[in-house]
Structure 1
Amino acid sequence: MATDDYTLRTLTADDLDEYAGVVATAFLSEGDLANVIDAERTVFEPDRTVAVLEGGRFAGVGGILTRSLTLPGGRARPVAGVTSIAVRPDQRRRGVLSRIMRAQLDGLHESGAEPIAALWASEAAIYGRFGYGLATDYIHYEITAKTPFRPGVDLGADRVREVARADAIEAIKPIYERHAATTVGALSRPGAYWEYHLLDTERRRAGASPLRFAVHPDGYAVYRVKGEWSERAPDGRLMVRELVATTPRAYAALVRYLLDVDLIGMVELDGAVDEPLTLLLQTPRAALRKRFDGLFIRLVDLDRALVARDYAADVDVVIEVADEWCPWNAGRWRFTAKDAQATVERTTADADLSTSSTELGAAFLGGTRLTMLAAAGRVHEHTPGAVARLSAAFLGEREPACVEVF
């Protein structure tokens, strides 16, 4: 329960160490505090970070990173990257998290900043009550090394080459930018975000090698290896940090390269829900697949957010929206999409369907279907066919993919 003993303030650069200390404690990383401080320093935006204080001491913290996110239609639009939400163990269940969420959402709305917020949840049950909807999933693959491809897979003529870290980042930046421009859910990586994303501390290695970089003219893979041996043969593990390809040939060549690394028994990879990986394999069962929740989306200003992306079908419906945490979104909205572009206006007309901003956030990137949410009782139809029409408009050509945790 919240009390009146708490205050909230925006941070300054001088607060970095205490801020990072709360983050390290909350995420069970006190033993790696120096590296946590160094990592946070690379992307720390103090003027977009708040702390809740009790007795002059930080009880909890939360930050926003200034990023862009590729939306359906290939548009990269500003997104508030919510990060490092951390509450000290002795401050749990006292309203500290709610104060941080309130400060962020109100601040974005009142300043007219990003109409969309995004986060990765350390515990998936937490953020739905603040209006964040699960917009992407990802698949964790474990593939038996040396698994052959099906006949006819085109690897092209270009070689995959190992590149030292000192040279790799500049080599792969333009490849990633081409990839991000066409991949819904991909994040921008300005400035220091490359070093932040590819941080390579001993804790992150967890006994494995430093990061390796395998580069193709149209793609790259960043990975680690860990040597292990069974009684019969080498049984090392290869763990892919990131696999990016801008052509089918580059994708196939990189996957083949990773599967064929010597002394490896198993390759691990996080990929999109519609990752083409198993379609390359002669034996798809050689790839064990587990599905996990990914990026959560919050429509902070619903009317500004919904017009930021393109739509796959024309539709004209009235949506009644519930939104406890951002009440300025609540009410009836006429949503019209024509020739991929949308308009969103207040209306007093009868609603064709009703839902909350959480469900609209979940559907926003085109992966989570509104029809599926309706089947779960989270979208309610009042005009027959309205949910199916709106769901079709929201869909994308491919599943959204974000495997970059921030």
Structure 2
Amino acid sequence: MTTELRGLDAADWESWYRSLEWAFGGGREPSEERAAWREVTEIDRSLALWDKDRIVGSFSSFSFQLSVPGGALVAAAGVTMVHVAPTHRRRGLLRRMMRQGLDTARDAGEPLAVLTASEPAIYGRFGFGVATHALSATLDVPRTGLRLPPGTEDVTLRLADPAEVVDRCEELYARLVPRRPGMIARQPSWPGMVLLDPRATRGGASPRRCLLAERDGELVGYARYATLARWAASVPDGVVLVKDLDAADPAAYAAMLRFLMELDLMSSVELTGRPVDDPLVHLVTDMRRSRLRVADRLYLRPVDVGAALGGRAYASEVDVVLDVTDDFCPWNSGAWRLSGGPGGAVCERTRDAADLSLDVRALGAAYLGGTSLAALAGAGQVREERPGALTAAATAFSSPVAPWLPHNF
């Protein structure tokens, strides 16, 4: 079969997106969900793979700004909407699209590429490592309490329609982005995705509501949630489904969590996609009844090793030579000297002997500080060439807070 890879024409978006729906099970998404995805699609960063008059593959990316250790924002290609039709597998077509996508990111001066993986085994061969994880919890409300921090009673809570307060919530979100690596600075087109709540996908739950946490009129937190009413033998057994829970300080977080745990007729609170060091881990009185689960979340690979490592700060002073192997983006391969600390860093080519050897996937996993270089060394993915270099580098690469991707893309 002869296939042609070319840029997506806006007029072909419906056919292109329908081919993607078939790749992910065939169900047609609600019209409002399709409209939200159409709004955020960057047509000039999207590819369609054609076989004659039929689309058999897709690839797109977002022009993201990703928070990194130290609070800076680094340009990142957010790889998304990727598929190859089952009739066209094992022909190197995904590799072809990824090749063009990463080349485009490099030409655009984007040091990073990131994605969320429907099938994790696929993307390691393209140099993506797991850079963040996500925590999920199901709080057993009748048998779990909270240890409330000082100031909780000073927080005022009120309910609002999510659409009516989205601008205030997005302003708070933007202030929080530099505080934690892995967060994405949302673009003006993204509020539609934030508010997306199709009736067809609620599974019987209510429409979402927005809980605002304020102190002296200032917004210090918000939560978007729905409730699912259930009864067991005439006993209420409802579930609170929390989509977002963002707070500027511990008291605001605790006040909102307490509110969600005290809703009438609800016996559990489900939170998904949270940071692995989420405050709830330390607020709940019984972790065993919170059913904590951890899963992979954001996959990351440096597109430009020098710019990527020079774009973040480090927890301690570091001067280390990294011998990087990158088969898919060979311009990254070779020795790099990283010098820097909390105030910033420089990463340049060098001919000096390596202190550590690793491949680009391990470097991507460690980049945001959520995965230790020492842990990767324990798995044989990082090799220490100079005694003491691993401990020093692992300490420098660490982050005081766990990296976190708040939402899929």
Normalised TM-score (structure 1): 0.95
Aligned position for 1:125: 121
Which amino acid in structure 2 is aligned with residue 145 of structure 1? Answer: V
Which amino acid in structure 2 is aligned with residue 244 of structure 1? Answer: D
The RMSD of aligned alpha carbons is 1.6
Distance 2:286 2:148 in 1: 11
Is 1:183 the equivalent of 2:180?
yes
Conserved 8 A contact 2:384-2:390 = yes
Aligned position for 1:39: 36
Residues 2-401 of structure 1 aligned to structure 2 (within 5 Å): 5-32=2-29, 34-109=31-106, 111-146=107-142, 147-150=144-147, 154-217=151-214, 218-231=220-233, 233-270=235-272, 271-401=274-404
- Cα deviation for residue 14 of structure 1 reads 1.0
Which amino acid in structure 1 is aligned with residue 238 of structure 2? Answer: G
- Cα deviation for residue 175 of structure 1 reads 1.5
Which amino acid in structure 2 is aligned with residue 130 of structure 1? Answer: F
- Cα deviation for residue 332 of structure 1 reads 1.1
Distance 2:260 2:132 in 1: 25
Identify the range of structure 1 (218-227 vs 167-176) with the bigger mean alpha-carbon deviation.
167-176
Instruction: String of CA shifts for 1:315-373, please: whole Å, max 9, x gaps.
Output: 21211111011000001111212453221121222211110111111111111100000
Normalised TM-score (structure 2): 0.94
Instruction: String of CA shifts for 1:216-245, please: whole Å, max 9, x gaps.
Output: 120011111111111152001111111100
Distance 1:382 1:97 in 2: 35
SS in 1 for 2:152: coil
- Cα deviation for residue 39 of structure 1 reads 2.5
SS in 2 for 1:282: coil
Distance 2:339 2:197 in 1: 47
Is 1:403 the equivalent of 2:399?
no
SS in 2 for 1:319: strand
- Cα deviation for residue 148 of structure 1 reads 2.1
Sort the Cα spacing of 1:309 and 1:234 in 2 relative to 1 into closer, same or farther, 3 A: same
SS in 1 for 2:270: strand
| 5+ long unaligned stretches in structure 2 | 215-219
- Report the number of matched residues: 402
Q: Percent identity?
A: 38
- Cα deviation for residue 93 of structure 1 reads 2.2
| 5+ long unaligned stretches in structure 1 | none
Which amino acid in structure 1 is aligned with residue 134 of structure 2? Answer: Y
Conserved 8 A contact 2:33-2:198 = no
- Cα deviation for residue 35 of structure 1 reads 4.4
Distance 2:138 2:320 in 1: 43
- Cα deviation for residue 96 of structure 1 reads 1.9
Instruction: String of CA shifts for 1:145-173, please: whole Å, max 9, x gaps.
Output: 25322376641322211101331212312
- Cα deviation for residue 286 of structure 1 reads 2.5
Q: Which runs of 4+ in 1 moved over 4 A?
A: 151-154
Conserved 8 A contact 2:275-2:402 = yes
Which amino acid in structure 2 is aligned with residue 340 of structure 1? Answer: G
Instruction: String of CA shifts for 1:229-271, please: whole Å, max 9, x gaps.
Output: 1115200111111110001110000110111111111111121
Distance 2:231 2:150 in 1: 31
- Cα deviation for residue 34 of structure 1 reads 3.7
